[in-house]
Amino acid sequence: MNFPTRFIAASREYCDFDRHIPAPYIRRSFELEAKPAKAEILICGLGFYRLFINGAEITRGALSPYISNPDDLVYYDWYDITAHLTEGENVIGVILGNGFQNPFGGINWKFAEVQWRGVPRLALRCEITGEDGSQTAFETDEETFLTSPSPILFDEYRYGERYDARLEQEGWAEPGFDDSGWAFCLPAEQPRGQARLARMEPIVVRAEHKPVSITPQQGGYLYDFGLNSAGVCRLTVKGKKGQKITFAHSEALENGEFTMKNILYHHPEYNQTDVYICKGRGVETYVPGFTYHGFRYVLVKGITEEQATSELLTYLEMSSDLAERGGFSCSDETANTLQTLTRRSTLANFYHFPTDCPHREKNGWTGDAALSAEHTLLNLAPEKCYAEWLANIRAAQREDGALPGIVPTGGWGFHWGNGPAWDMVLVWLPYYTYRYRGDKQILADNAASILRYLHYMSNRRNEKGLLEYGLGDWCPPGRKCDDYKAPLVLTDTLIGLDIARKSAEIFGLLGMKLEKAYADILAGELLAAARSHLVDPETQVALGNCQTSQALCLWQGVFTPEQEEKAFAHLLRLIEENGRKMDTGILGARVIFHLLSRFGYSDLAFEMIVTPDFPSYGNWVKRGATSLWESFREEDFDCGSFNHHFFGDISSWFIQWIAGIQYNNAFTRHGEVLIRPQFIAALTHAEGFHIAPEGRIESAWKREGENVLLRVTVPEGITGKIALDGGWKFEDGSAKKAAASGEYRICKI
């Protein structure tokens, strides 16, 4: 089907906080002489839409079609509606929400000022093939598509929705409805972006939760659902006509009281708040359609004590429909909880693309997504969503190669919120997607943009050949987010070095010889500059003399092989001096545990992760976290968001080091796995799995007295080896002598 290009709208006025404009109903009735052999629809609803055929909603997922800058890319959904049509009258019905066509709530990121801001609009094409082969088609126009205000009086992606059920028009999307009082739609400006078919997974309800407690509070009732995630509430109520029910969503309590203090920006009366006005006819059900929230708690006002039951609200936990690809569990409950929290926060922050938090921002922060890419790919199946979001990142890239810190954007993020550690998303997402899924197309699609960014990055070097722009080791423990110990010039230069190296691997795989040579030269120059200016050749101490600086220099090979032993010994001293606890921001946390395992200190890494003492991941668990937090701070409300995913790489470490599943370490060797389990002294057993393109890989071990029984299962097409680190050997002398069942008995040397 061809993309429809005629857009229509309900009015010229668009909603904001001071002027509520209802979301429009739009309908089109048509006659069929017989049930068709085939019928299809292509639809673009900007910002969001809900699609009904003969009264039945068939929308593929929440917040459809996508969340994008419509000056860059405009998304369409395709539907086969054959089964929904019948002989006689048929009706197509659409409700339009503001979405990113009118993103007036994104004030901090200048979304209220974007040039594309305007009324929600619709483009639709329907093609019908009869049993006799005859074909008919129609598109949106101003002669046959009618409109009327819906009961959705206000909707905003970040803030919430307000619904007056008294204004419902029953049967509005069904045959036989009297639409004589409706107005014709108006022509609307066609968006400037390129038309694109949405191919990513839809946003769906993943689970439903009932409250674990209901408590009278603040003139209403506090509903605690026991977990901090993202989605909406389904309201089920039998109320009086005109009864106004408000339900506000938050992720934390202060002294046992409902609060939004950590997620408020503007307009507190709207913030994460939905409103429902009852029509007063039996049991009513309402689910917000054009917003979502990050929350654990809901404060409901406007209900009676008799209505305040567990049946009133149901938590619909939502995210993009990403399949499971991996998992981990062990004998330590703190580690198991952290695996659960990582999975929860990763999904709660995946709405078409990775977001930084599901409440106050909902922005596609590039660095956050890059840092989470590996653990997301090990646990879930985000590759379609990654490929689609990368198309938006490429569209947002400036001609000079610069990237914004958030995507989509209307221009915000080029002067703050970016830099190599955030811009690396352009390389890391395709790199890790190819490593774990073997998708060479994602490399080819992004190669030209990667090269453009390398030129940009190269031109940003200072007189010493170093990089220093953008954000650094964000969210260090116990300090403000930007109060990091590792100097920006060090983290930027070393992340830039990593970008150049990964780019060279990508270009090499694609046969782009000149581009690979350029990336190799840039990497060599950055390495030389780092060795000259960022480390002391006598003491092997990195600039900044902190855990992040030392770990990144070791991880990126800034220290020569002859210097590594002394450099790593200094990192151990820094850790010991800090009470055997982490003292890194997000960039250091991404490498330090893997680095410790590489040097044989997995027990120390595990201790640093699970210890209940501040600062640690285990301290979050001790303090009642049900999702990953944004930062490590002693005072809860200094942490910022209580639902972030960018510290989630511990899940990758669990799978790759404790379970020992290291797939395609060489980047180009799919079908190859290294099983390198770490028999952590504090654990009695551990197991993990990852579903590679070839099938499911499993690794599980348990202690049997002084020895260990290791079980490994791999599918056909997988080759590799088992490696045992110092202190352990195969009981029979080698893995080749192990039982054919995949069981390996391991003992101490």
CATH number of residue 227's parent domain? 2.60.120.260
DSSP codes joined into one string, 265-325: -S-TTTTTEEEEE---SSEEEE--SS--EEEEEEEEES--TTT-STTTEEEEEEEE-PPB-
Cα–Cα distance list, 529 to 170, 420, 534, 562 (Å): 70, 16, 8, 19
Torsion of CA 101, 106, 110, 115, to 10 degrees: 10
- Please classify residue 564 by burial: count the beta carbons closer than 10 Å to its beta carbon, then call 0-12 exposed, 13-18 middle and 19+ buried: middle
> Where is the domain boundary, 320, 335, 354?
320
Per-residue pLDDT of 53-74, as tens digits, reads 999 999 999 999 999 999 999 9
Please state the rounded mean pLDDT for residues 143-163: 97
DSSP codes joined into one string, 561-606: HHHHHHHHHHHHHHHHHTTS-----HHHHHHHHHHHHHTT-HHHHH
Structural domain contains residue 2: no
505 and 575 together in one domain? yes
239 and 349 together in one domain? no
Tell me if 39 sits within 8 A of 129, measured CB to CB.
yes
Q: Is the pLDDT of residue 160 over 80?
A: yes
Per-residue pLDDT of 560-580, as tens digits, reads 999 999 999 999 999 999 999
Residue at token pair 């993990």: 688
Structural domain contains residue 1: no
> Where is the domain boundary, 199, 231, 257?
199
Structural domain contains residue 345: yes
**pLDDT computed for residue 741 by the predictor:** 64
Structural domain contains residue 664: no
Torsion of CA 426, 431, 432, 437, to 10 degrees: 120
Quote the domain boundaries for residue 435: 326-658
Per-residue pLDDT of 473-510, as tens digits, reads 999 999 999 999 999 999 999 999 999 999 999 999 99
Tell me if 358 sits within 8 A of 349, measured CB to CB.
yes
CA distance 646 to 364: 12
- Please classify residue 470 by burial: count the beta carbons closer than 10 Å to its beta carbon, then call 0-12 exposed, 13-18 middle and 19+ buried: buried
The proportion of the chain whose per-residue pLDDT surpasses 90, expressed as a percent, equals: 96
Record the tokens describing residue 511, joined without a space: 């046969």
**pLDDT computed for residue 737 by the predictor:** 53
Please state the rounded mean pLDDT for residues 525-551: 98
189 and 221 together in one domain? no
Tell me if 68 sits within 8 A of 74, measured CB to CB.
yes
309 and 331 together in one domain? no
491 and 407 together in one domain? yes
361 and 294 together in one domain? no
Structural domain contains residue 667: no
* Residue 94 pLDDT level (bands cut at 50, 70, 90): very high
Structural domain contains residue 271: yes
Angle between the N-to-C axes of helices 333-348 and 366-379, in degrees from 0 to 180, rounded to the nearest 10: 120
Structural domain contains residue 499: yes
DSSP codes joined into one string, 638-703: GS--S---TTTHHHHHIIIIIS-EEE-TTSS-TTEEEE-----TT-SEEEEEEEETTEEEEEEEEE
Q: Are strands 283-286 and 146-149 parallel, antiparallel or unpaired?
A: unpaired
106 and 240 together in one domain? no
The CATH number covering residue 716 comes to 2.60.420.10
Angle between the N-to-C axes of helices 383-396 and 366-379, in degrees from 0 to 180, rounded to the nearest 10: 160
Please state the rounded mean pLDDT for residues 352-380: 97
480 and 582 together in one domain? yes
* Residue 19 pLDDT level (bands cut at 50, 70, 90): very high
CA distance 749 to 352: 50
- Please classify residue 411 by burial: count the beta carbons closer than 10 Å to its beta carbon, then call 0-12 exposed, 13-18 middle and 19+ buried: middle
223 and 113 together in one domain? no
Please state the rounded mean pLDDT for residues 523-551: 98
602 and 721 together in one domain? no
707 and 566 together in one domain? no
**pLDDT computed for residue 735 by the predictor:** 62
Per-residue pLDDT of 602-632, as tens digits, reads 999 999 999 999 999 999 999 999 999 999 9
In total, how many domains does the chain have? 4
Arithmetic mean of pLDDT over the chain: 96
Is the whole-model pTM more than 0.95?
yes
> Where is the domain boundary, 263, 298, 320?
320
* Residue 1 pLDDT level (bands cut at 50, 70, 90): confident
**pLDDT computed for residue 5 by the predictor:** 87
Tell me if 101 sits within 8 A of 121, measured CB to CB.
yes
Structural domain contains residue 570: yes
180 and 87 together in one domain? yes
- Calculate Rg over the CA atoms of the chain: 28
DSSP codes joined into one string, 366-388: HHHHHHHHHHHHHHB--HHHHHH
Instruction: Report the helix count and the strand count for the chain, using DSSP H and E.
Output: 14, 36
